[in-house]
Amino acid sequence: MINFYERVLQYPNYHRQFNCNDSLITAFNCPAEARLMKTKFAELWTQYNCLFYVVEGKKIWHTADGVYPVEQGSCMFMRKGAFILEQFWDIGFCIVLFFIPDEFICHTLSAKLDMPDRKRLTHKQVIALETNQTLEAFFLSMSSYFGQSKEPDPLLLELKFKELILTIADNPFNKEMLAYFCALIHEPRPVALQRLMDDNFRFNLKLEQFAKLSNRSLSTFKRDFQSTFNTTPGKWLLEKRLLHAKSLIVNSEKSINEIAFESGFETASHFSRAFKQKFGLSPSSVREK
């Protein structure tokens, strides 16, 4: 899968970029020809949360928990992880995009937000934000930077990122967003790891990418995973993907190839072999029964 954050960094000519502390970046993308992905459906992932405001155009985000159309005027927060981006070639797309690490959110809000509701264990991958006058004014203030040839001072950029996070957190209508921010700050690391794996096992991510998503080195990720799940990441992923695939075979009319892809397998042949080894029957035989 393509790292969305790294792909944006590779094309500074298409995106006016401002870096802050080597981890935060904003990009402004208007030209219709400035397409980073050349397919209708692009498989992407990012280790940083994204916040974007759509100036014009339309795209559709496909995630593990739903389908999210975004178009002019949409202001959305996308949690870090994997997704599929559906693109429309007949229209341009103009977006103000922010990549925001977990650590920055926690550092900005740690003294402001209380413990989350423990009953709420899941969060949507893409969360719509209320676009009030204060938030619109923030994006308007950011747009002026893109018209200047001079690079903004990094300290000023850091303040603007903090202003963005605090503006969102100060709006009581952003309840779902606030719940996720609270979880980031307060939930135990094993719970965060469980949530991350449940959200992303259906995508064909490598262990190194799961480690980066969890803000761990590969060795630390494997050790913490073993401690949390009492098994290895590879075995857990295979089990979860096969059970998910079997559910799709029984309960949907999707083709075997589609199910293999949507369950995180790199090829249909690998899926069929693993499935038969696990359940004693081929995917097509289970469907026939």
HEC assignment per residue over 51-117: EEEEEECEEEEEECCEEEEEECCCEEEECCEEEEEECCCCCCCEEEEEEECHHHHHHHHCCCCCCCC
**What CATH number has the domain bearing residue 78?**
2.60.120.280
Mean pLDDT of all residues in 92-98: 82
Residues 117 and 181 in one domain: yes
Residue indicated by tokens 């980031």? 184
pLDDT for the residue numbered 38: 67
Residues 107 and 249 in one domain: no
User: Is 38 or 174 the better-scoring residue by pLDDT?
Assistant: 174
Residues 165 and 220 in one domain: no
Give the Å distances, CA to CA, from 37 to 95, 118, 186, 207: 15, 39, 36, 23
The residues near 258 (Cβ < 8 Å, ≥ 6 apart) are: none
Does the pLDDT of residue 42 top 80, yes or no?
yes
Does the pLDDT of residue 16 top 80, yes or no?
no
Residues 83 and 173 in one domain: yes
pLDDT for the residue numbered 148: 77
Q: Which two tokens stand for residue 14?
A: 């298409």
Q: Which two tokens stand for residue 82?
A: 């994997």
Does the pLDDT of residue 32 top 70, yes or no?
no
**What CATH number has the domain bearing residue 205?**
1.10.10.60
Q: Per-residue confidence at 217, pLDDT binned at 50, 70, 90? A: very high
Does the pLDDT of residue 246 top 90, yes or no?
yes
User: Is 140 or 257 the better-scoring residue by pLDDT?
Assistant: 257
Distance from C-alpha of 137 to C-alpha of 75, rounded to nearest angstrom: 13
Residues 199 and 165 in one domain: no
Q: Per-residue confidence at 93, pLDDT binned at 50, 70, 90? A: confident
Q: Per-residue confidence at 35, pLDDT binned at 50, 70, 90? A: low
Mean pLDDT of all residues in 219-234: 96
pLDDT for the residue numbered 57: 84
Mean pLDDT of all residues in 54-75: 88
pLDDT for the residue numbered 27: 66
Last residue of a domain, one of 186, 215, 235: 186
48 conformational bin, left if phi > 0, alpha if psi -120 to 50, beta if neither? beta
Last residue of a domain, one of 158, 186, 214: 186
Q: Per-residue confidence at 219, pLDDT binned at 50, 70, 90? A: very high
Residue 240, phi then psi, degrees to nearest 5: -65, -40
pLDDT tens, 103-147?
Answer: 999 999 988 876 555 555 578 899 999 988 898 888 888 877 877
User: Is 94 or 134 the better-scoring residue by pLDDT?
Assistant: 134
Distance from C-alpha of 269 to C-alpha of 275, rounded to nearest angstrom: 10
Mean pLDDT of all residues in 74-79: 92
Distance from C-alpha of 236 to C-alpha of 231, rounded to nearest angstrom: 7
Last residue of a domain, one of 186, 213, 235: 186
Taking the chain, what is the end-to-end CA distance rounded to the nearest angstrom? Answer: 34
Mean pLDDT of all residues in 142-165: 85
Domain span holding position 69: 2-186
Residues 100 and 140 in one domain: yes
Q: Per-residue confidence at 218, pLDDT binned at 50, 70, 90? A: very high
The whole-chain average pLDDT of the chain stands at 86
